Structures are given as C-alpha cells and as structure tokens.
Structure 1
C-alpha cells in the first residue's frame, strides 16, 4: 500500500490581498489626509490647557515622582501609572466637542464623496 500525500490546498487569489481597512482605519486615514486630525489635536491641546487638565496632570506626575523617589522611577512607569488617570480626567464637555467636530467632518466629507 502506498501512503497518501497530503498537499496544501491551492491558494485562492483572495489570500494575497490585504484585508479591507476597518471603518475606524478609514476614518483615521480621511482625518489625516485632510489635515483635520492635526486641527483636532491642536483644539484638544487648547481645551485641556484652558480647563486646567494639563496643570493637574503635571501635579499628579510630580506627586508620583516624589512618592516613589525621583531616582527610582522610569518614564515608562510614570506613563503607565498616569495615563489611565489622565484619560478619566478629561472633561466630558471637551470629549463632546471633539466628537461633534469629528461627526461634522464625517458628514461633510460623506456629502462631497456621494
């Protein structure tokens, strides 16, 4: 008796294609290409400074560094510890304003494409 040979299946033409970008990736591409992403980042910086978020975050970093000892922490450790706190400290009105700007961008972009 001869043993059967197991051969790999014939590749489909679809396997060579890159996967379709997700909706989030497509939005990110449109925001970047149009320059809107940079404008939104600048708006976010301004709003966070205005509301005192930046100063509060600096204070949290200083307090953490003093607690652990300035020579006993790394930047990575500081970022890992402070980032979740910083995200929760972003005021809801700032988040809402950014979301509204993104929605407006998407609706005006969709109107031009359609």
Structure 2
C-alpha cells in the first residue's frame, strides 16, 4: 500500500489481483447462494448410500480400528487412511451424474 500525508492509502496493483476471485471461487459462491450446493451434497449422500459406498467405508474404518486397536485410533488416522480409498472408489456413474447436474446449473446461471 502506498500512502501520503494528504490522502488515504491506495492499493497496489498486486493487491488488487489477490482480491480477484478465480472461476472456481465464483462458481462456489453461486452454488452456495442458490442453495444448489446443499442439494448436490444431499444427492451425493443418497447415491453413495444406494450404491453401498457408505457401508464399504464403514467396514474399512472398522477393520482399521480393529487392526490398530480401538483405543489407538484417532479421527485423523482414519481420515488419512480412508480418504484416498474413498475417493478412488466413488462409482463413475455417481461422478457423472453430479458433473451433469453442475453443468446444467452453470448453464442456467449463464456463467
């Protein structure tokens, strides 16, 4: 920031660039403002339960807990072990459906 005695500080060009939102951030804001993000999360939750993904993740957590000992497992341990497996095992059909819903939303808000 540059300042002088007679005027308030003016932002530098570099600081202005930092404040500009990325396309991803703009989309996220639009999703939140419209309530579509919550609807997409609920749809994802339903689809993952329907396909058995949630039960599979529960079983992996239980197996990991038994292996390490129930008192020796933290939530962070579970997250670190299960997250990569969980992301990799989401069915392609669920991913495709969500992607299509996001595309439809983006077309409707004319981004």
Q: Give the shorter-chain TM-score range.
A: 0.7 to 0.9
Partner of 1:37: 37
Q: CA–CA distance in 2 between the matches of 1:49 and 1:86? A: 13
Distance (Å, rounded) in 2 between the aligned partners of 1:88 and 1:34: 29
Within-5 A mapping of 1:1-114: 13-17=12-16, 18-110=18-110
Q: Partner of 1:21: helix, strand, or coil?
A: coil
Give, in whole Å, the separation in 2 of the partners of 1:69 and 1:93: 36
Q: CA RMSD in A?
A: 1.9
Work out the number of aligned pairs and report it: 103
TM-score, normalisation: structure 1 = 0.83
CA–CA distance in structure 1, aligned partners of residues 36 and 58 of structure 2: 28
Gaps of at least 5 residues in structure 1 are: 1-8
**Pair member with larger Rg:** 1
Kindly state the Cα deviation for residue 25 of structure 1 after the two structures are TM-superposed: 0.5
Shift of 1:80: 0.8
Q: Distance in 2 between matches of 1:71 and 1:16?
A: 48
Query: Structure 2: which 5+ residue stretches go unaligned?
Result: 4-9
**In structure 2, C-alpha distance between the alignment counterparts of 1:12 and 1:94, rounded to whole Å:** 45
Per-residue deviation, 1:72? 1.0
> Which of the pair has the greater relative contact order for Cα pairs under 8 Å at 6+ separation?
1
